[in-house]
A = this chain, B = another copy of it.
Amino acid sequence: MKKPDIVILGAGYGGLMTAVKLQKKLHVNEATITLVNKYDYHYQTTWLHENAAGTLHHDRTRIPIRDVVNMDKIQFVLDTVESIKPEKKKIKLENGELQYDILVIGLGFEAETFGIPGLAEYAFTIEDINSARLIREHLAYNFAMYQHEDGKNLGRLNIVIGGGGFTGVEFLGELVNRIPELCEEYDINKSMVRVINIEGEASVLPGFDPQLAQYAMNSLQSRGVEFITGAMLKACKPDRIVFEKDGKEEEIPTYTTVWAAGVRGNSIVEKSGFEHSLGKIEVDRDMRAPGHKDVFAVGDCALIMNDKTGKPYPSTAQIAIQQSGTVANNIKALVQNDEELESFEPNLLGTVASLGHNDAIGDILNKWKLSGWKAVMMKKIIDNRYLLKLGGPGLLMRKGKFNIFY
């Protein structure tokens, strides 16, 4: 009998952890495992806002795939997925084609701009290493340009963040740390710089514990962030944004709008003929696509309903990593002709949001509400635990966050 071809698309949290687990669970004689990724590195999506602000170098955030994947056990293909054809069990890549017996789709999220005019063209999004370091350079470039231009254009120093969700708030925290460095570098008075958050709800972090969300707003406000809540972004232009609040349209001159308010599933998933909801496959309990016994989805490409709340579980790194365990076990079962597949049970440990170097908020097991240095510590512990799981102590030492005494 031919060895089955297991193909994993995407080396994000879900895909890469599936690969790392499978290389331990399956013998090379049992299956051929192929991992496909657009870059030869994995990056921690949850750290990208730090790269974008310029407070952490992107080489700390990314991990060469060869460092965590055993290339003797797993074939790595550096290529971009163009489409999935489940009826033919084929993957079309930019530079080739792959055949699979078992497929794992972990292609991640895409930004969603909801058709707001100009957003796709002029706003930045924090999606990957390339877009994050572009934001870092864009910030520096505008500060340099401000000093160089004859007419002092304050729009160069206004930074607008659209959306006060998790990414938006964490990015604000990093900006607060970064601005003084930029001001020093370009001889700019700190009081000239504005960091403005526009959020549609009445408070940032909707869905989070309200007291902690308020703590986050107060913490960031006290360090200079301006919040415009209950406001909708209406348009983004090269030199300003337009928003609506209380039925009135207003403008803010800015060359830097970072859109952190819209994330959706994957357009490749959408076009491949699976049942999906905005690019996410509502997977069965065993993480397989409905009607496809050989296709798994993880992370941002998978949708799992929380029966208690009637809402989908959020697409967090935590859940994607947990899913990879179920997916790896179930693939092992399929390969070994074990009929019994396990069901995925999310284990919601809680959430910690950083607010810059020395503040954070955390909601642990829906029981402990943390803020300040305890939450900062917890955040670093979570980040470090992932590195330990992914690449062992060696990776933790190289990429871990130990600067706990800012």
In the complex, which residues of chain B have a beta carbon less than 8 angstroms from the beta carbon of A250?
none
Out of B133, B137, B148, name the residue touching A130 (CB < 8 Å). B148
In the complex, which residues of chain B have a beta carbon less than 8 angstroms from the beta carbon of A141?
134, 137-138, 140-141
| Alpha-carbon gap, A133 to B142, bound state (A) | 11
Instruction: Count residues of A near B (Cβ-Cβ below 8 Å).
Output: 15
Mark out the residues of chain A between 116 and 170 whose CB falls within 8 Å of any chain B CB in the assembled complex.
130-131, 133-134, 136-138, 140-141, 144-145, 147-148
In the complex, which residues of chain B have a beta carbon less than 8 angstroms from the beta carbon of A147?
130, 133-134
Interface string of A183-201 (1 = CB under 8 A from B): 0011000000000000000
For the complex formed, measure the closest distance between the CB of A113 and the CB atoms of chain B, giving whole angstroms. 16
Q: Judging by beta carbons under 8 Å apart, are A134 and B130 in contact? A: no
| Alpha-carbon gap, A141 to B139, bound state (A) | 10
In the complex, which residues of chain B have a beta carbon less than 8 angstroms from the beta carbon of A145?
134, 137
Q: Judging by beta carbons under 8 Å apart, are A137 and B134 in contact? A: no
In the complex, which residues of chain B have a beta carbon less than 8 angstroms from the beta carbon of A133?
144, 147, 185-186
Interface string of A341-360 (1 = CB under 8 A from B): 00000000000000000000
Within the oligomer, what is the number of copies of this chain?
A: 2
| Alpha-carbon gap, A131 to B149, bound state (A) | 9
| Alpha-carbon gap, A220 to B144, bound state (A) | 29
Out of B131, B134, B148, B185, name the residue touching A134 (CB < 8 Å). B148
For the complex formed, measure the closest distance between the CB of A139 and the CB atoms of chain B, giving whole angstroms. 10
In the complex, which residues of chain B have a beta carbon less than 8 angstroms from the beta carbon of A134?
141, 144-145, 147-148
| Alpha-carbon gap, A186 to B136, bound state (A) | 12
For the complex formed, measure the closest distance between the CB of A11 and the CB atoms of chain B, giving whole angstroms. 16
For the complex formed, measure the closest distance between the CB of A125 and the CB atoms of chain B, giving whole angstroms. 10
Closest to A39 in B: B187
| Alpha-carbon gap, A145 to B136, bound state (A) | 11
Interface string of A367-384 (1 = CB under 8 A from B): 000000000000000000
Q: Judging by beta carbons under 8 Å apart, are A144 and B148 in contact? A: no
| Alpha-carbon gap, A138 to B134, bound state (A) | 12
| Alpha-carbon gap, A134 to B141, bound state (A) | 7
In the complex, which residues of chain B have a beta carbon less than 8 angstroms from the beta carbon of A148?
130-131, 134
Q: List 19 A-B contacts (CB under 8 A).
A: A130-B147, A130-B148, A131-B148, A133-B144, A133-B186, A134-B141, A134-B144, A134-B145, A134-B147, A134-B148, A136-B144, A137-B137, A137-B140, A137-B141, A137-B144, A138-B144, A140-B140, A140-B141, A141-B141
Known: A134-B147, A137-B141. 19 other contacts (CB 8 A): A130-B144, A130-B147, A131-B148, A133-B144, A133-B147, A133-B185, A133-B186, A134-B141, A134-B144, A134-B145, A137-B137, A137-B140, A137-B144, A137-B145, A138-B141, A138-B144, A140-B140, A140-B141, A141-B141
Q: Which 3 A-B pairs have the closest CB atoms?
A: A137-B144, A130-B148, A134-B144
